[in-house]
Amino acid sequence: SKASAVARASEDFMPNEPTLQTRHIASVAFNSMLLGEIVVPDWDMFH
Tens digit of each residue's pLDDT (9 = 90 or more) over 1-47 = 578 888 888 877 777 878 878 888 888 889 889 988 888 888 765 54
Please report the pLDDT score of residue 7 as a whole number.
84
One-letter amino acid of 4: S
Plot region of 9 (φ>0 → left; ψ -120 to 50 → alpha; else → beta):
alpha
Please report the pLDDT score of residue 3 as a whole number.
80
Between CA 28 and CA 3 the distance in angstroms is: 23
Query: What is this structure's pTM?
Result: 0.67
Please report the pLDDT score of residue 44 as a whole number.
66
